[in-house]
Structures are given as structure tokens and as C-alpha cells.
Amino acid sequence: MKLHFHGAATLTFLLLLCSSSTTHSTQPPFSCDEYSSNPQTKSLPFCQTTLPIHKRVEDLVSRLTLDEKISQLVNSAPAIPRLGIPAYEWWSEALHGVSGYGLGVSFNGRIRSATSFPQVILSASTFDSHLWYRIAQAKGMTFWAPNINIFRDPRWGRGHETPGEDPLVGGKYAVSYVRGIQGDKYEGGQSINLLQASACCKHFTAYDLDNWKGISRLGFDAQVTQQDLADTYQPPFRSCIEEGKASGIMCAYNRVNGVPNCADYNLLTKTARGQWGFHGYITSDCDAVSIIHDNHKYARLPEDAVADVLKAGMDVNCGSYLKNYTKSAIDQKKLPESAIDRALHNLFAVRMRLGLFNGNPKKQLFGNIGPDQVCTQEHQQLALEAARNGIVLLKNSAKLLPLSKSHTSSLAVIGPNADNAYALLGNYEGPPCKSLEIFKVLQNYVTNTLYHKGCNFVNCTFAAIEDAVNTAKQADYVVLVMGLDQSQETEDHDRVELTLPGQQESLITAVAMASKRPVVLVLVCGGPVDVSFAKNDPKIGSILWAGYPGEAGGTALAEILFGEHNPGGKLPVTWYPKDFISVPMTDMRMRADPSSGYPGRTYRFYKGPKVFDFGYGLTYTTYSYHFISSTPNTIQLNGVMHTSTQAGNVSSSSRYLSVSKIGIDICERLKFSTHVGVENMGDMAGKHPVLLFIRHNHPNNGSRPMKQLVGFESVSLKARERAEIEFVLNPCQHLSTANQDGLMVIEEGYRYLVVEDKEYPINIVL
């Protein structure tokens, strides 16, 4: 059953089911209702809402034939008319707004568009978890999102789908997103037996290569150390499950240390379900089961691949492999029927938690939401707010920006991304409520606004440099809108260079040289680009990174250019120099190896030159910071265990406590607060994130992070206004590091709390 999108962006999946115009008349409209194709089923135990969900699921599964059971193991699960069960489509997408990708939603019904928020990487640059939560609330449906993998390599084509390179940011984004989608409060506290909607975190795990120099994600074996798994790749997924209470996980295409993720019992069952307490369904990425046999050659026969994934703990296959080979796997004694029953328990439990077996959804919560609540002014304003607060000011020599509307008589807008509203959306996009090009928005600010494309396409294989220069010479100010688009970075397409494509750099330099005043360079792109030439060119006065800012991106950018909004975003990824391409994407190590010249990755471990740092971003005002003296200088941990030998190593060279042996209760008691004072020293109001890092006194030859983000909070301040921010830190989480065995430990010695140029020492005493 293909579902047409007939409701608001806050509509739950259960309403989509009941309002679908494509449901065939012979199919059950919804379960457990007198109008079902078999109304007698309403009296069966699986329809009794007073019973616990696990009892209802047990009853339902016990009534299915083997063929019916197998039919439910794929994303397009067919109806079971004899039990009054309608068809169900698991595959929907809402990465940054309701998307037409997948089979769960289409826009060819009464609804033709929905609010398109900024791509995830730009939302992440706000470092505002409350904003992330509000965006997720505005999309509340059943979706495969978010992509919370770490943006480890700047060339990754899907990096812009993620919240960036930091595991804490990735985890907090996942928690905010999942709670917003599923109907939980921002602070948490949701019951696992109630879902407003269902969110699925992907791609589990160590997935950040798509197609690089012929090496495909479909056959890639990621070699990852236990240390890197523990402190980089796994923490966002753990947060998504433990704190976000996600109802779904998607296992990734790749292998990790030889084992395909979707066939890894240790990953799916022992770790996610056993250690992290996951209660929900696990889906494959699309056709990820087939590649276990076809690409990885991990399974000898298709039936072996089916047996591998179901025994590992996977529940539903995006694709048809389980439908085609599960029956023969059972016939060949490779798979017990109980493995199918286990998967069905997880799948039907989620559907019941969504209320899809409670009768007519129109009589339930949100039952009267209609098309008038799609593309609401509130949601479009939220998209604008996210774009405003995400755009990052990277350079502003001599305070070129903001421009004055009253003193700007003419403006030249040059570049292939200036007159292309679609390029602002990013991938996994839906048709936006509005479609506004940057050039056309800027025309509303300066009547005499000229435009020249500059390049034939974003790849800029041909640049009309002379014509662009002539256009620039006619204007008081010039705005160049350059960068990348989905032809340069997207799913199944990684970059091989970190510079601007084609002749873009030559075009920018020539226009800047010819212009009357220093020019403004706007970069529309997801991944980092080496723009050192522009950073060092005095004729390029300002640089703005706009990410893929969504439907309101043109408006947000214009407001920033003309001083109606003070930019406050900060980079969620490190911007590397172009020579970083000598590092193979296939090298999954995070930590630097000086002996081989390997520089490491991300701000935590990278030991090479940078174009721009993680967390970098300018504003039109100036902020000052200071630590308030109530923050403790010493953390006494020597009494938390009965003996130091129980806790960990007691050698003279390195003393530490094992976090797992300290225990959750003691870790909670060890929490402490640090207070940071912030003052807006300038004349313009602004909103910006305050980032709190921990720096180790000695990085221990690169094994420890050089610094680590441990907290962030977005703050709005009027001119000359002050505020105080409290960060609550848990030593077990924020002051620990991973050892080579992948164990989290708290080491003795000094740490430094860091906010911008201010530091505060804390001594850990064992």
C-alpha cells in the first residue's frame, strides 16, 4: 500500500494509514474495528487495549500461518484480511522535512508540498538541542531518520545528512530528534508502551564511505579499533537508544571487522538490546541483506544470509530477500521458526505502541488533523529560524558585513547557486512550501540587483569569467554564491577533491580583483571545502557558509547580509586543507600515528593544518566569557571503590578507575556543575552557542583526545546583556577516555575546562 500524504507535518503515521486514498476497497482500512473486513477480530485478545502489549502481540503472532509470518518481514508488509490487519509500509523518510523518498509517503494527493527545513549539518551548526527537538516535533511521523553517523571524513557524500563530527553532538541530536518525533518530552520520561510516532536511527555502525574511487559501501569492510568504536562510532547510537528511547535502528551496508552489520549478533543483540536496553525493531538498509551474499560473500547461499540476519537480531528487511528465501531457509533447517516469531514480536509491538491496533485512528489523539496544518506559518517560521541561526560567518574583514540597505545602490549576485532554489534543499528533500532563490530574495533588498551565473553548472567546467567580471564592475557590492550541490556530494558519491569544483576558484578570484570593494563569498555546500585562497585574499572581505539551508535559506541569508539578523552558527566539522585527500577514506582510524605520518581525524585527534576549526564562527558583536568560582577545582574519586585494585590500574605510570566498575549510581552522585558567565560586549543583539570543552593536560601520545566537547548551550543576549550558563557534568561520561581495549576509564590528573580563550583547571584525585 502506497500512502498519500494527507495530513499536517505533525501528523502521526496512524492517520496516514486511515486517510490513504490508495487503500483498495477490499483491504482492511485499519485493525480492530467493527468496519474491518473481519469485524469479529475486534473481540480477539490482540485487539484488547487493556491487555499488555506483549500479550496482545503473542496472541496475534500465534494466529499467523508461516506464509503470513514471512510476508511481514519486509518493508511493504501486505494486509492479512482474515484477521482484519491492513497493509503497512515501514519505509518513509524525514531527514529534514517530510520527504517523497521511500514508499511510505507521496505528494501526488491533496498535499503537494511540506516544510523543508535546513539539511541536518546546518541545523547542527546551531548547537541548539531545543531547536532540533522543535523541528522533529513539526515532522512527527514514522520515519527512517536521523543519520547519526560521525562525519569522520570531509569527502563523504552523505556527511551533510549527519550532525557533524562530534559524538556528543551526534548523540544529543539523536535524542532531541527522537523525542520530538515520538512524542516524548524534551527532558525525557516517555513510556516505552506509548508512541505518538516512530523514529529510526541510522546507519548502525561505522558507516561513512559511500563510493570512493570505486570502493563501494556495499562491499566495504571497515577495520575499526575497539578504542575508536567506544569513544567515536558507538556513543551517538547508545544515546539514541538509552536516552532517546528510539523505536527503530537501521543496520548499515558495510562490514565492521569482517562481519556485516546486519548479521552481527554482538552488535544487534548483545550490544543494542542487551547492554543498551533497546526495545524496538531493527531494519536493514535497503537490500542490505542481499549484499551479504552478493557483495560481501559472507553467506554462501541466500538462505544463509537470511538465517544470519534473523539470528543476529534483525527484524525487517527493506527489500524482498526475506520474502524470497526465508521459507527455503526453514525448509533447509538453517533457521528455526522461533527466529521469525521473535522478529514479529518486535514489529507488531511497535505498530501496537503506535495505536494501529486500537480501532479507527480518527477517534484517537490527532484524529482531526487535516491538510490545513501542512505548510503552516509556524513551521515555515521555524525553518527560517533554523537557517538564520545555522549559517556561519567565517570571515568579515574590516566589518564588510552587514551591508546597509540605504547605502547600497547596486548589487551584483554571481554564481551557479544564486538562482537555484532546489540546490538549497540538500538530499532526501521533499517539495518545499516555498521556493525562493537567493538572487530573487536579494532583489527585494536592492532594486538594482544584477545577476550572472558565472559557471555553466556547479561543476564549473566552463566559466564565463569576462562576462561575470563586467557584471561585477557595474555594482557597488558583489555577492558570489558558489559551492557544491548534489552532483558533487550525495549518497553513493563521495568527493575525491576538497577544493571548489572546476573553474570556481578562478572565477571568484577574478571577480574579487575587478570589484570596486571587497566581495562577499557565500558557500552553499554540506562538506568542508578548502577555501584558503579566499581566506587569505584581502579582496574577499567576507565568507559565509550556508550549508543546504532549506526552503527559507535565501531569506535567512539576505537577513544576515543586511544586518537584520546577527549570525551565530559554529562549524560542526573541521575544514581540512586540500592535501588531506592523500589520506585514504578507507582508513577508519581516529587517532594520529606520527610514526607513519597519519594525521588523525576530527578536531579531537587531527594533528595537521586546518582551514577552519570545529566550533569556529564569527558574529557581528563580541562576547566575553568567564568561569564562576563555584566550579570545583578537585574531584575526589579515591573513595568510590572499596579498593583501588577493584577499580583499575594502580601502577605508578597511570592510575585510573574503570567506569563500568564504578557503577551508574555512583556516577550519578559524582555529577557536578560548572557555571560560565557570558556577556555581549557589542552593540547588536545576538544568539550564539557556548561550547564547553575538556582539555587533557597530556594527550598521552595521541591516545587521548586533544580536547573533547562536553557541553553546549545556545544563548540569546541583547547588547551589553549578561547571562550565566550552568553545565552539569558527569565524570563517568565527560571526564573519561577509552583505553585500547575499548573500556571507558577515568584517569588521575588534571583536566582543563575550556570556553573560547578561558580555561579552568580540575584535578582528578584517585
Phi, psi of 643 (to 5 degrees): -140, 150
- Residue where the block lists cell 580563550: 757
466 to 401, 450, 456, 514: CA distances (angstroms): 26, 15, 14, 10
8 Å CB contact between 670 and 641: no
- Specify the DSSP element, H or E, that contains 211: strand 211-212
- Beta-bridged to residue 482, according to DSSP, are 523
What is the spatial distance between Cα 161 and Cα 683, in angstroms, rounded to a whole number?
Answer: 36
- Residue where the block lists cell 511540506: 114
- By the 10 Å C-beta count (0-12 exposed, 13-18 middle, 19+ buried), 211 is classed as middle
347 to 130, 239, 503: CA distances (angstroms): 30, 22, 51
Which residues does 597 contact at the CB level (< 8 Å), separation at least 6? Answer: none
Nearest CA-CA partner of 743 in 751, 754, 732, 752: 732
Active-site residue 285, yes or no?
yes
Question: What is the distance, to the nearest Å, from the Cα of residue 26 to the centroid of all Cα atoms in its chain?
Answer: 40
Catalytic residue among 285, 304, 315, 530: 285
Determine if the peptide bond prior to 699 is cis (ω within 30°): no
- Specify the DSSP element, H or E, that contains 534: helix 532-535
What is the spatial distance between Cα 212 and Cα 191, in angstroms, rounded to a whole number?
Answer: 42
What is the spatial distance between Cα 439 and Cα 273, in angstroms, rounded to a whole number?
Answer: 50
Question: What is the distance, to the nearest Å, from the Cα of residue 39 to the centroid of all Cα atoms in its chain?
Answer: 43
- Beta-bridged to residue 687, according to DSSP, are 716
What is the spatial distance between Cα 667 and Cα 637, in angstroms, rounded to a whole number?
Answer: 10
- Specify the DSSP element, H or E, that contains 348: helix 337-353
Nearest CA-CA partner of 248 in 75, 18, 77: 75
Q: Which residues are tagged catalytic?
A: 285
